[in-house]
Amino acid sequence: MKKFIEMLIKELVDNPEKVKVEEIAKDKNSIEFTVEVAADDIGKVIGKKGKNIMAIRTLLTAVGAKEHHRTTLQVIE
């Protein structure tokens, strides 16, 4: 899933080399992903009214459900 998120985010931003994705296992069935992007790319990742980030989270939830994981996604400056 980490590579999936990384691919999605890199396609949205102007500085794909500054994208960093970390995977943190909270417990047996829960995974938290943190995404770090350049300051000028945060707006592109979030999108108007949060539509981009909501779509990414929806995809992440669907992929995680196939593997029986609960997932969360945080965007960091």
pLDDT in tens, 24-53: 998 888 999 999 999 999 999 999 999 999
CATH number of the domain encompassing residue 29: 3.30.300.20
> Which amino acid does the sequence have at 10?
K
Map tokens 């995809």 to a residue.
59
Please calculate the CA angle 35-52-25 and round it to the nearest 5 degrees: 35
Total of domains in the chain = 1
pTM for this prediction: 0.85
Domain containing residue 23: 2-76
Query: What does the chain come to in residues?
Result: 77
User: Model confidence over 51-71: pLDDT tens digits?
Assistant: 999 999 999 999 989 989 899
